[in-house]
Amino acid sequence: MDEPWGLSGPQFLGVYWALVACAVIAAAVAATAARRSGNPGAPVTGGLDGYQLALLAGGPLRVQQTAIAGLVAQDQVRVNRSGFLRPTRSGKRPADAIQAEVLRLIGSGRRLHEPLRTEDSAPYRQLADDLVRRGLLRSADNVAKAKWGNLAFAAVLALGFVRLFVGIVEDRPVGYLIASLAGTGLLWLVLGRTALRVRVKPTAQGAASLRLARTQHVRISPRGTFSPAASGAMVAGAVMAPVALYGLSAYPDEGLSEVFLANARNHAASSGSTSACSSGTTSSCSGSSSSSCGGGSSCGGGGGGCGG
């Protein structure tokens, strides 16, 4: 009696499980390669700017927050107590390409914790590519490859279901095939979820460099105020560095820090998160400052004052 595809039931199951084994190996190798991407070694002790530290510490959102901190400090953007960002139209040019992109995405106004998709911009991609080349960040391409195992499982399952259909049409016994499909589905569920958890994150060297930067960073206490005329280097060191490492709650001005922290808590509560500070930071924000913000006023970088 002719067998479907020239293979008996047991023969097909042998081929089928061999293909499942290949899919499992492919998924495991791809996920392992993605997690280990980057060059192992000692932490980088210098040459990391605020945006690079921000990307290592909190991903694209932290880069966005760091750029916002720089714009606020130089009075190019103001934020009110409800967490609404609005450009000042001061005519000043942003200090760098990332700030320029964030200012463009803010437009006429945006919510503080609304993602701006800065990761789609050329300046962000250049930033990430540099960290990948230095072995501090997982490559997005390698992370994408970690998900290829899902495609392999889908192809094997599709083949199995086609064989099941043929078996049913030709009135062949399909009990073992159904059990094999169920087993493959469970494997796919477990390994597929593992692959989906692979993210663009710091490598071991990147994480060590981040820890070193946090160890070396000295917070300003009590908090000072910053002039909109402050130099780019002063803003980068005194304002953007703590935000890059710890989030907007570490902004070195008490009035603005309270605004950022309150909005981070509100955002976390509305999204069901238990994090009190933006991007998961647990740092405390203490210190004193003369700046304050009234109920509906806007807070700017020029000493944390309040607009009319």
Task: Looking at the structure, tell me whether residues 106 and 131 fall in a common domain.
Answer: yes
HEC letters along 200-257: CCECHHHHHHHHHHHHHCCCCCCCCCECCCCCHHHHHHHHHHHHHHHCHHHCCCHHHH
How would you list the strands of the sheet with 298-299, edge to edge?
110-111, 84-87, 77-80, 298-299
Domain-embedded: residue 306: no
Whether residues 191 and 211 share a domain: the answer is no
pLDDT of the residue at 191:
75
Mean pLDDT, rounded, of the chain: 74
- Please tell me the pTM assigned to this model: 0.60
pLDDT (tens digit per residue) in 97-134:
999 999 999 988 888 777 788 888 888 889 988 888 88
Range of the domain at 223: 50-137+206-272
Percent of the chain with pLDDT over 90: 18
Taking only the tens place, the pLDDT of each residue in 272-305 is 433 333 333 333 333 333 333 433 444 554 444 3
pLDDT tens sequence across 201-244: 788 888 888 888 888 774 433 344 444 434 444 455 678 888 99
Whether 132 and 255 share a structural domain? yes
**Per-residue pLDDT, 141:** 67
Please give the torsion angle defined by the CA atoms of residues 65, 69, 75 and 76, in that order, rounded to the nearest 10 degrees.
-30
Q: Which of 198, 184, 199, 178 is nearest to 24 (CA)?
A: 184
Give the residue from 226, 231, 229, 243 showing the smallest Cα distance to 305. Answer: 226
The answer to whether the CB of 146 falls within 8 A of the CB of 195 is yes
Residue 28 has pLDDT above 60, yes or no: yes
Closest CA to 73 of 203, 207, 241, 204: 241
Same domain, 165 and 184: yes
The answer on 93 and 71 residing in a single domain is: yes
The whole-angstrom separation of Cα 167 and Cα 2 is 12
160-170: average pLDDT: 93
The predicted model gives 22-51 an average pLDDT of 70
The pLDDT of residue 277 is: 36
